[in-house]
Chains A and B, each alone.
Chain A
């Protein structure tokens, strides 16, 4: 990752000419960028087909007959079993079931939950805004704190700040999330009473779910104090969710920066007498960003799939918990539909990351 993408180049011009290091000079024209975008988009098709198949197969290879699991200790008679098998369509050949699912997906129909009997699509979109809101805030915190921390640590390599920061990052990375979340709740909600324990907004506020994003809906509601309540409910879960990405981003930024800082052109820039802030902040950081963006992209993908532990502890009604519950209940349509939607989102995020590479380093889009 970091080693594969060694970047220098466009950010730094020593002579006023294009900064070349052996390759053709980069040109910011629309042609290559569009071709690059289309080629990336093309890889979507086989990936999408693969994901559809895997999401369909995944829940079916798990042991456990959904009908027997649903019946529990009470059991189910053979006649009733046959009736339910027919009702769920399990009596049809597996390829017919897949074909039905696949053609449904192409028409935007993901089926309906065995449990709630509601369309998977509706359930997903009633829960996804909560996941998106929380993960956006968390990743923002992680980026805004992680990158500067990594840069400072790199420039202060081996000094106290660097050591402190890297040890905290290691702790943050290895922290058991469940324990960390409960600790924060007990201290900040229980002992100090600064933040609410869980939920998305105080129960005294009640307004229609217009966008599903509590920060926006609370503003739209016009109710006094609603927005503040929504913000206060976001504090602890977003800190918890940001903990690991923050640690990873800080460490990644630091190592990428260290690599770039040892490059010749940085030495040259320094020798030219550029202010350290310009050297580190502008020239070095921009070139160090590629591996960092890769990591952020992966993190965003993971967060969008729902943060199961954080959502569970803070009673945050997102898609992570929804998917896990549905696996335990062997709710096939939800598992396969949910996996598919999450996978598509991860693919979209990866596409955006790929495009960002191309934007930051024209050499990549030329490949």
Chain B
């Protein structure tokens, strides 16, 4: 599409006032600027909203609104008996975007799949450092250790060979870093000596073509008229109006300057819900905020002590004060939107008297402890200092004296990993791939001690269950194992599970078909605008 065409088209249609014109434009007041346009280089949701969701596809994708994995650019796949080989059968007739800066000469095929992964895997390859960045998420998900090789079987068949059996592998392939790039485009850029353009002028197979980006101001996309998923996307143009302040986003929504906005101020939500010009959707976020005891140090090595402290925490007050209603009490270490969430588990009752008695029974008196409060805001903990203060009061009621400490964020993350750490740590986690393994193994497995496992908790019965769940492929069997793991977790109480955030999405009444995504992404492929 030439610049002139776009200019003519957009100048004709982009006015929201002229919604009745032939073309429709959806304006999204996004909360920040993307870091770049190659999703494999980044790990922020804001970047993925602007890149992997509109511009790219993955081999397999999350069905919008669920953590269920469905076919994407691969029409089907099968795993070998031993679980070490996955063979993907690719969709035919899929085209890459044709733009001012690239015209594809061929359809999407196995070469593109091999390229998209090998550039991240092959440390000796030209693309490993060509963009000046590194493939953070691919590494974070331990893909280099997991993937042994990637084989092009034929033009439309690709085989992944793994080093070990890992059931969550398929969910990893639906993640943003696994977006499929055009090998042909990459070759052209490399030959021209401008590989950095892969991160500035993206080419994908996704529902929208990238048109232009004005830093910190606006991103424009146009409908991919050749999109393989017929009938989608439903709007002709997609515009991100970057608006970092939540109050201003709300004013823009009211003034009709945008149709939909993320991350409202919790304080504005009651008013939004009362306003007939605004629809507010809500869903629990795929996250958990917790207080992790150091289970390697006395008296926190005693599950009874941990349980007693958990019973002293008035979680409802935390939800009311810290989350201002935009949170939900957490009873499990995984959020309710995740498959295998064990709803049968009963949360510890808030009972300071019983807690006091339990501590006395465990022979603990005059206990003094530290609570670490994060210096940053996170969806799973919007105000850690305030949360720590509330806990300080709660624990004082059972005779436990609390000192609150904090460090600069980098220091905090680093020091809280130490196995000899003094104190319980407030922290949290946001899910990557919708797989329970991504919470239970990363945050509570024995391998994570001294790292992501801030409770320093290595409990064999729990660890055996989650390790087994990694290696079976039957979803029902995996579900049963994870449900069992949550029971063990609750008995042993290495954490006080505090809250899952509740995510709100305000939009104008004319927005139709928007579905909230548990993984947190904002996806507009199926959204349309009523006249």
Contacts and interface: CB of A to CB of B under 8 A. Distances in A.
Contacts of B43: 72, 74
Contact of B245 (A71, A73, A315): A315
Nearest to A64: B410
B257 A197 contact: yes
A199 B217 contact: yes
Contacts of A200: 217
Contacts of A196: 255, 257
Nearest to B145: A77
Contact of A117 (B3, B41, B417): B41
B442 to A, nearest CB: 8
A314 B248 contact: yes
A193 B255 contact: yes
Nearest to B442: A74
Contacts of B451: 75
A63 interface: yes
A207 B14 contact: no
Contact of A312 (B14, B15, B16, B245): B245
A313 B11 CA distance: 26
Interface stretch (A92-100, A184-192, A256-264, A269-277): A184-192
A203 B220 CA distance: 10
Contact of A116 (B36, B140, B239, B413): B36
A10 B3 CA distance: 58
B414 interface: yes
A266 B14 CA distance: 61
Interface string A311-332: 0111101100110000000100
B216 A206 contact: no
A232 interface: no
Contact of B139 (A80, A87, A189): A80
Given A63-B410, A64-B410, A68-B413, A315 B217 contact: yes
Contact of B243 (A65, A73, A206, A315): A315
Interface string B167-185: 0000000000000000000
B214 A209 contact: yes
B251 interface: yes
Contacts, number: 145
Contacts of B131: 117
A185 B241 contact: no
Contacts of B217: 130, 199-200, 315, 317
Interface residues of B, number: 60
Contacts of B101: none
B429 interface: yes
Contacts of B248: 182, 185, 197-198, 313-315
Contact of B134 (A69, A87, A185, A203): A87
Contacts of A74: 43, 140, 452
A318 B414 CA distance: 34
Interface string A12-47: 000000000000000000000000000000000000
A193 to B, nearest CB: 7
Contacts of A322: 215-216
B372 to A, nearest CB: 14
B129 A206 contact: no
Contacts of A68: 410, 413-414
A294 to B, nearest CB: 32
A223 interface: yes
Interface in A108-129: 112, 115-118, 123, 126-127
A117 B135 CA distance: 13
A186 B268 CA distance: 14
Main SS of chain B's interface residues?
A: mixed
B196 interface: yes
A197 B252 contact: yes
A64 B408 contact: yes
B60 to A, nearest CB: 22
A204 B414 contact: no
Given A312-B244, A315-B241, A189 B251 contact: yes
A224 to B, nearest CB: 10
Interface string B190-216: 000000100110000000000010111
B133 interface: yes
Contacts of A208: 3
A112 B132 CA distance: 9
Contacts of B218: 199, 203
A206 B36 contact: no
Interface in B3-53: 3, 6-7, 10-11, 13-16, 18, 25, 27, 35-36, 41, 43
A29 B134 CA distance: 61
Q: Which of A80, A116, A196 has the most CB of B within 10 A?
A: A116
B254 A190 contact: yes
Contacts of B212: 206
A356 to B, nearest CB: 33
Q: Which of B25, B214, B216, B413 has the most CB of A within 10 A?
A: B216
A186 B252 CA distance: 10
A87 B251 contact: no
A321 B244 contact: yes
Given A117-B132, A117-B196, A200-B217, A206 B244 contact: no
Interface string B472-487: 0000000000000000
14 contacts: A70-B136, A71-B413, A84-B134, A116-B36, A197-B248, A197-B255, A197-B257, A203-B15, A204-B13, A204-B14, A206-B6, A206-B10, A206-B220, A317-B215
Interface of B: 3, 6-7, 10-11, 13-16, 18, 25, 27, 35-36, 41, 43, 129, 131-134, 136, 139-140, 196, 199-200, 212, 214-218, 220, 239, 241-245, 247-248, 251-252, 254-255, 257, 408-411, 413-414, 417, 427-430, 451-452
Given A199-B217, A208-B3, 18 more contacts: A72-B413, A75-B413, A76-B140, A115-B36, A117-B196, A127-B216, A189-B255, A190-B254, A197-B248, A197-B257, A198-B248, A198-B252, A204-B11, A205-B11, A206-B6, A206-B7, A206-B212, A207-B7
Smallest CB-CB A-B distances: 5 pairs: A317-B216, A64-B410, A204-B15, A317-B217, A63-B408
